Amino acid sequence: MLALPEDFLQFIRSVYGVEAANAWFQRLPSFLDECATRWQLQLLPPFEQLSFHYVAPAIRADGTAVILKTCEFSDEFEHGLAALRLFDGRGIAHLLEFDEGKKVMLLERLQPGTMLASLVPDQDSEATSILAGVMRQLWRPAPAEHTFPTVEQLGQGLQQLRAHYAGGYGPFPPYLVDEAMDLFATLSASAPQNMVLHGDLQHHNILRAGDTWLAIDPKGVVGDPGYEVGASFYNPMPRILAVPNLEQMLARRVDQLSEELGMERERIRGWGLAQCVLNAWWSVMVHTEVNMEPPRGILRCAEILSRL
């Protein structure tokens, strides 16, 4: 079997089942050989930190450094691919090759690839400005017809939270869940326009590329552009939790993003809180078989935002 990070093996097995995951792991080496031949690649070992996808650096026959990304289970591949094609390298790594049917893509490798997370907390104001700049480059008006998930659909996950706990809240603070549900409804209904968004734009998904910064790994979501700011309020995790003045930092991020994006402060704050709660719920859903508790760090950020 291909040498893969143990955390990745365990994660894929926990999400998709041991039998299905092991069968894919067995098929993966021959599939990678097929990709290497097809696109003339020298494949290098995969990255250590993997989640839903196998991601590895590679070198093309002409010496170009690239990234190969694949996972046959991924239900996000279609939307991420469509977003990459729409963004077309503006504010994001270029899509070079792809096979939608086989769920594999080849991407520009950003060099030196330093994560924006490295600027937090010492240069957090600069990092926030970079986030805002990448957002402005990426956003595109939503096509009249599309298959992207919408922000409203994502927000329905909080209805699933209530159903999961038999109409209650389980370990989640009720006031945070209620406020998040209300915010998803009211902010989506009052959206000034629907845009195609990255969907997970935060400090681990923006990398240095030469003298600029570019996004990677879009999810592809359509809705209120204010939704895009939400992930920045619980990231970079877990580093953000060590900040001694976290409430002050998050308040400054709200004000700075409001100013740089030209959005109301309350909309920025609201999407931050709503996404904190939703992401905490997603973390529980991914690990339902182990009855995982919601991540306290993310809920701590939501609690702070509720007080701003």
Q: What is the pLDDT of residues 123-132, one digit of tens each?
A: 999 999 999 9
Residue 294: pLDDT band (50, 70, 90) is confident
Residue 292: pLDDT band (50, 70, 90) is confident
Q: Is the peptide bond before 174 cis (omega within 30 degrees of 0)?
A: no
- The whole-number pLDDT of residue 76 equals 87
| Cβ neighbours of residue 155 closer than 8 Å, sequence gap 6 or more | 181, 184, 185, 188, 274, 278
CATH placement of domain 6-109? 3.30.200.20
Given CATH 3.90.730.10, say whether it is the number of domain 113-307.
no
> Fold identical between 6-109 and 113-307?
no
On whether the pTM is more than 0.85, the answer is yes
What size, in residues, is the chain?
308
The pLDDT tens digits of the residues spanning 27-69 come to 999 999 999 999 999 999 999 999 899 999 999 999 999 999 9
pLDDT at 288 over 70: no
- The whole-number pLDDT of residue 289 equals 56
CB-facing half-sphere around the CA of 174: CA atoms within 13 A: 4
Q: What is the crossing angle of helices 124-138 and 246-261, to 10°?
A: 40
For range 182-204, the mean pLDDT: 96
Q: CB neighbours (10 Å) of residue 77?
A: 22
- The whole-number pLDDT of residue 2 equals 79
For range 286-291, the mean pLDDT: 64
185-to-45, 77, 178, 198 alpha-carbon distances in Å: 44, 27, 11, 20
- The whole-number pLDDT of residue 1 equals 56
* pLDDT averaged over every residue in the chain: 95
All structural domains of the chain with their residue ranges:
6-109, 113-307
For range 247-272, the mean pLDDT: 98
Residue 230: pLDDT band (50, 70, 90) is very high
